[in-house]
């Protein structure tokens, strides 16, 4: 299939449709509006449902209803809206329902701004709602990945019966790039748990997150974490860039990875041995490849649009074996290649002190 020129948010929406999503529920918020606008235009033409809900809370609960009915469904929002959805995301986890949730991040906290940000990293990867649960977090770094990770996300959500979050930002959402919409086979999961009416042919299906018996609730949590273990084993995704002989390892995702790649190339031209590991899944985090990198690299540099939120995950992955510097711009600012390069120079000076 040939490539077409698309905006990131629109490529994401079209990929969702190609993945079989026919029910989109949303609420207007900048900078994810293109997703809703695209769905509003497309869904009625293909027999799908676009519904603008009365609130983010209602939208995620409509997602719960449609997912319970066994259909692929999604919602999208931006940071403040995701906070509102967190209640429903916890219920999705408690009910073991699949869903795709998109966060086109903006700077926070509070109302914050409307410029790109990655400051919902903690929220997305650690605590997207109350209770013990995980969700898969995919971080696209191009318009192509906005599409292909969305398509993949629906499969993962169905396979593991959990929420998949696309964690992106206004830059990736609004930039235009050529994209191929050829994703291969569509997987259709069997959903014998769905509430579609029993027709007197089986016992009623009940979808609930309530469990007042402590032993039973514990059993459910343990079962869920067994499933998460499989996700951690099978679904870690990352990109390694010029890591063969690297002594400094840059870690960056999303738009920061694009900036950092330029900085890595510039550093290489200066003769510095720098490479990059780009997590594509932020959960499960690519711990093993980072741990391995710590054998050879004397310093790590996290490039992010948050106040070092990813630094903690890198430190954990490498068991604090090496120093982790942070090159951060926040509030809607994007780090420049020069800023990253300056941080790499700082990292290079630490070479002698590491061991």
Partner 1 sequence: MIVFEKPKALTDAPMHYCPGCTHGIIHRLVAEALEELKVTGDTIGVAPVGCAVFAYNYFNCDMVEAAHGRAPAVATGIKRADPGKIVFTYQGDGDLAAIGTAETVHSAARGENITVIFVNNAIYGMTGGQMAPTSLPGQVTQTSPYGRDTATVGFPVKVCEMLSKVDGATYLERVAVNNVKNVRAAKKAIVKAFRNQIEGKGFSLIEVISSCPTNWGMTPQQALEWIDTNMIPYYPLGVYKDKYGEAEK
Check: CB of residue 60 under 8 Å from CB of residue 86. no
Closer residue to partner 1 in complex, CB, 186/316:
186
Q: Is 88 in the site for partner 1 (CB under 8 A)?
A: yes
Q: Is 86 in the site for partner 1 (CB under 8 A)?
A: no
Check: CB of residue 148 under 8 Å from CB of residue 183. yes
Quick one: which segment of 111-119, 153-161, 205-213, 293-301 binds partner 1 (CB under 8 A)?
A: 205-213
Cβ burial, residue 46 (10 Å; 0-12/13-18/19+)? exposed
Distance separating alpha carbons of residues 23 and 62, to the nearest angstrom: 9
Check: CB of residue 263 under 8 Å from CB of residue 341. yes
Q: What binding mask, one character per residue, do residues 209-238 give for partner 1 by CB under 8 A, x or -?
A: xx----------------------------
Q: Is 55 in the site for partner 1 (CB under 8 A)?
A: yes
Q: Is 65 in the site for partner 1 (CB under 8 A)?
A: yes
Distance separating alpha carbons of residues 83 and 65, to the nearest angstrom: 20
Looking at the DSSP bridge assignments, the partners of residue 167 are 103
- DSSP-based three-state secondary structure for 126: coil
Distance separating alpha carbons of residues 77 and 103, to the nearest angstrom: 5
Question: Closest distance between partner 1 and the C-beta of residue 212, in Å?
Answer: 9
- DSSP-based three-state secondary structure for 85: helix
Closer residue to partner 1 in complex, CB, 95/333:
95
Question: Closest distance between partner 1 and the C-beta of residue 74, in Å?
Answer: 12
Q: Is 163 in the site for partner 1 (CB under 8 A)?
A: no
Nearest to 67 by CA among 46, 35, 26, 95: 95
Candidates 37, 58, 187, 189: give the one binding partner 1 (CB under 8 A). 58
Quick one: which segment of 110-118, 208-216, 244-252, 328-336 binds partner 1 (CB under 8 A)?
A: 208-216
Q: Print burial letters for 185-219: b (CB count within 10 Å at least 16), e (below 16).
A: eeeeeebeeeeeeeeeeeeeeebebeeeeeeebee
Size of the site for partner 1 (CB under 8 A): 40
Candidates 206, 215, 233, 269: give the one binding partner 1 (CB under 8 A). 206
Provide the phi-psi class of 184: left if phi over 0, else alpha when psi is between -120 and 50, else beta.
Answer: left
Quick one: which segment of 189-197, 217-225, 278-286, 342-350 binds partner 1 (CB under 8 A)?
A: 189-197
Q: Is 339 in the site for partner 1 (CB under 8 A)?
A: no
Q: Is 196 in the site for partner 1 (CB under 8 A)?
A: yes
Check: CB of residue 10 under 8 Å from CB of residue 185. no
Candidates 184, 190, 199, 353: give the one binding partner 1 (CB under 8 A). 199
Question: Closest distance between partner 1 and the C-beta of residue 69, in Å?
Answer: 4
Enter the DSSP assignment of 129: S
Q: What binding mask, one character per residue, do residues 14-53 give for partner 1 by CB under 8 A, x or -?
A: ---------x-x-----------------------x-x-x
- Point out which residues bind partner 1 (CB under 8 A): 23, 25, 49, 51, 53-55, 57-59, 61-71, 73, 87-88, 91, 95, 195-201, 204-210
């Amino acid at each position: 299939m040939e490539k077409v020129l698309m905006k990131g948010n629109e490529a994401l929406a079209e990929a969702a449709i190609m993945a079989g999503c026919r029910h989109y529920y949303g609420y207007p918020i900048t900078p994810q509006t293109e997703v809703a606008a695209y769905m509003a235009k497309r869904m009625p033409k293909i027999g799908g449902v676009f519904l603008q809900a009365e609130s983010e809370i209602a939208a995620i609960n409509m997602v719960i209803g449609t997912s319970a009915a066994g259909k692929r469904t999604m919602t999208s929002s931006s940071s403040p809206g995701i906070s509102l959805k967190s209640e429903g995301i916890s219920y999705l986890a408690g009910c073991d329902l699949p869903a795709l949730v998109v966060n086109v991040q903006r700077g926070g906290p509070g109302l914050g701004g409307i410029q790109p940000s990655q400051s919902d990293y903690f929220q997305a990867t650690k605590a997207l709602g109350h209770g013990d649960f995980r969700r898969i977090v995919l971080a696209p770094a191009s318009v192509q990945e906005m599409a292909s990770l969305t398509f993949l996300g629906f499969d993962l959500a169905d396979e593991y019966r959990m929420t998949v979050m696309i964690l992106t930002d206004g830059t990736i959402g609004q930039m235009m790039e050529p994209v191929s919409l050829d994703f291969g086979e569509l997987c259709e999961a069997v959903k014998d748990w769905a509430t579609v009416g029993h027709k007197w042919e089986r016992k009623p299906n009940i979808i609930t997150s309530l469990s007042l018996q402590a032993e039973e609730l514990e059993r459910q949590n343990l079962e869920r974490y067994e499933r998460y273990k499989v996700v951690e084993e099978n679904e870690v995704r990352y990109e390694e860039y010029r890591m063969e002989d690297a002594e400094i390892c840059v870690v960056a995702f999303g738009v920061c990875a694009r900036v950092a790649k330029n900085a890595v190339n510039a550093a290489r031209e200066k003769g510095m041995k720098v490479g990059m590991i780009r997590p594509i899944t932020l959960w499960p985090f690519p711990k093993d490849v980072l741990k391995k990198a710590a054998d050879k690299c004397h310093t790590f540099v996290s490039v992010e649009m948050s106040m070092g939120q990813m630094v903690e995950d890198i430190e954990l992955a490498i068991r604090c074996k090496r120093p982790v510097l942070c090159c951060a711009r926040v509030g809607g600012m994007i780090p420049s290649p020069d800023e990253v390069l300056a941080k790499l120079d700082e990292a290079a000076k630490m070479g002698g002190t590491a061991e």
